Amino acid sequence: MLRIGLDIGSTTIKCIVLDEQDKVLHSSYDRHHSQIIAKSKEVIESLSKMYSDPLYISVSGSAGMGLAQKLDLDFSQEVYATRKAIQHLLPESDVVIELGGEDAKILFFNGGMDFCMNGSCAGGTGSFIDQMASLLQVSSKQLNELAKKAQRLYPIASRCGVFAKSDIQPLLNQGARKEDIAASIFRSVVSQTIAGLAHGRSVEGNVVYLGGPLTFFF
């Protein structure tokens, strides 16, 4: 029996197909543009055409519970799923940082399992990066390319998109280089993760980074 994992986050849907020997047969990573049911149906129907074997499907992700309940599928809470995957694939990991579309989380494995998650604000997540790219009138991919050519950094608040815009707009009005602003935006995400998300705990040792920004930018 083939096993399918569907991770349905706030902005993207991820799919992986494994055979009985844990070999990856297929994987995909796409934005669902808030059309969760339609996109999930598209993915599942595509898989049913690709494989004739019986399929076992398990769902995870912040937007996946409702779909799992509707379709009577197994659901795995995302922090639990991440912990099990890391323990299986990267057992020497000390810290896992995951930046999603609208949430961020950090898991500590050194000294016992512990995790922290951002609050209701999406500051420092993928949607924050999208908002800042829009403010600079570039795509998220272009924002990343601009950042590679930066010469200096500016302080930008990442805990809230409104505060960040109030930092960036004056810089644009004063003629600051977009390359420098782009790099400053990414630096602010790092600062938000270290200073805000980790709540004072040290991010050190073997650190694993997960999430859309890494997948789509590098």
Span 137-189, pLDDT tens digits: 999 889 999 999 999 999 988 767 677 888 999 999 999 999 999 999 999 88
Provide, rounded to the nearest whole percent, the portion of the chain with pLDDT above 90: 49
Please answer whether residues 80 and 27 qualify as being in contact, where contact means their C-beta atoms are separated by less than 8 angstroms: no
**Is domain 2-76 in CATH 3.50.7.10, yes or no?**
no
Give CA–CA dist 10/23, Å, rounded.
Answer: 27
Phi, then psi, of 166 in degrees rounded to 5? -70, -20
> Greater confidence, 162 or 72?
72
Span 120-140, pLDDT tens digits: 566 678 888 888 999 999 998
Query: Top-level CATH class of 91-218?
Result: alpha beta
Domain residue ranges in the chain: 2-76, 91-218
Is the pLDDT score of 37 beyond 60? yes
Please answer whether residues 14 and 6 qualify as being in contact, where contact means their C-beta atoms are separated by less than 8 angstroms: yes
Please answer whether residues 71 and 182 qualify as being in contact, where contact means their C-beta atoms are separated by less than 8 angstroms: no
| pLDDT given at position 212 | 77
Domains 2-76 and 91-218 are alike in CATH topology: yes
